Amino acid sequence: MLTQAVEALKKTTALVPTATSSISPLPTITDPRPEYQVVHDEGKRTLWVVFVIMLVASIAFTAMSWSLPASKRLYHVVTTLITTIAAISYFGMATGHGVSLHDVKITEQHEHVPDTYKHIYRQVYWARYVDWSLTTPLLLLDLSLLAGLNGASIFIAIFADLVMILTGLFAAFGGEETPQKWGWYAIACIAYLVVVWQLAVNGRAAVLNKGTKVARFFGSIAGFTFLLWTAYPIVWGVADGSRIASVDDEIIAYAVLDVLAKPVFGAWLLFTHQSMPETNVELGGFWSEGLKGEGQIRIGDDDDGA
């Protein structure tokens, strides 16, 4: 009878589920750790070097203007302002100002588990966009004066240039998975083509009135400038756009372009201007002589018949 009871107990316990290690635990889904793309020592040193270059160029361009009367200093004043603004901008970036972290959110899709999100925090130096919004119109003014471009074309070129710079800034802070970034970038590229049209077509037609030498020089320096300006959106595309280049590489690339587009451009323009009288733009009146008593407010003079 005891044997029958044991057999019955075995049959009963066999129907009870038991724990097993063969069942896999449910997967745990966590977002990847954020990635930080920031400047390092190489980039910081580059910013300081370019600051010194811009400062020295500003001093040199100022010294070049001392021997000239005020009426013939227009190119010197404009070109010195370009490198001075750039020096201030690079000093700000070198000391850690004019930069913000841009949060880029990337969705990573998976087949059997929920999507995860990766955050990339990349430094964007918005100070360089402030620099460009002030210096590139001055660069265009130098080229426009050299070509003898009319006021309407100068206005359109400078307006398109400002649109190009501002939309480039909007693109740098645009959302990753929205039309913002590359939409703003496309608008900036279209605005750049407007600038090129005004200088390359209208400017080329205007400069022919100044003679062959000036036309040849304008073609060379304008071509040099637009070749450099075409490289800027390419750098943007591999840096802020797609984040292929590191922040240090971005700084170095922009530094080379800025040095060529400002101090080198300025030195080429001013030295050629000194040896080519046909390029001269002479301004009289208020620019060189002031008010000369005209329009001054007089105090204590009685009117006739008072």
**Is 208 a domain residue?**
yes
Low-confidence winner among 1-10, 83-92, 98-107, 224-233 (lowest mean pLDDT): 1-10
pLDDT at residue number 37: 87
pLDDT of residue 277: 80
Residue 296 has pLDDT above 90, yes or no: no
Residue 125 domain-assigned? yes
Is residue 193 situated within a structural domain? yes
Please determine, for residue 110, whether its predicted confidence score (pLDDT) is greater than 80.
no
Domain CATH number, residue 48: 1.20.1070.10
In b/e form, how buried is each residue of 146-183, taking b as 16+ CB within 10 angstroms?
bbbbeeebbebbbebbbbbbbbbbbbbbbeeeeeebee
Q: Which of 70-84, 95-109, 220-234, 276-290 has the lowest mean pLDDT?
A: 276-290
Q: Does 52 or 27 have the greater pLDDT score? A: 52
Is the pLDDT score of 117 beyond 90?
A: no
198 φ, ψ to 5°?
-65, -40
Average pLDDT rounded to a whole number, residues 222-237: 96
Q: What pLDDT is recorded for position 159?
A: 98
Query: Is residue 59 one of the residues assigned to a domain?
Result: yes
For residue 285, being part of any structural domain is answered with: no
> How would residue 2 be classed by pLDDT, with cut points 50, 70 and 90?
very low
Question: Phi and psi of 110, rounded to 5°?
Answer: -130, 160
Q: How large is the average pLDDT for residues 33-57?
A: 94
Chain segment 12-38, per-residue pLDDT in tens:
555 555 555 555 555 556 656 888 889
Q: What is the pTM of this model?
A: 0.82
Tell me whether residue 3 is in a domain: no
pLDDT at 274: 87
Whole-angstrom Cα distance, residue 53 to residue 59? 10
- Whole-number average pLDDT of the chain: 85
Distance CA 195, CA 191 (A): 7
pLDDT(129) > 70: yes
- The residue segments making up the domain with residue 72 are 33-280
Q: What local confidence, expressed as pLDDT, does residue 306 receive?
A: 47
Is 122 part of a structural domain of the chain? yes
Q: Is residue 82 part of a domain?
A: yes
- Which pair of structure tokens corresponds to residue 99? 């930069």
As for how many domains the chain has, the answer is 1
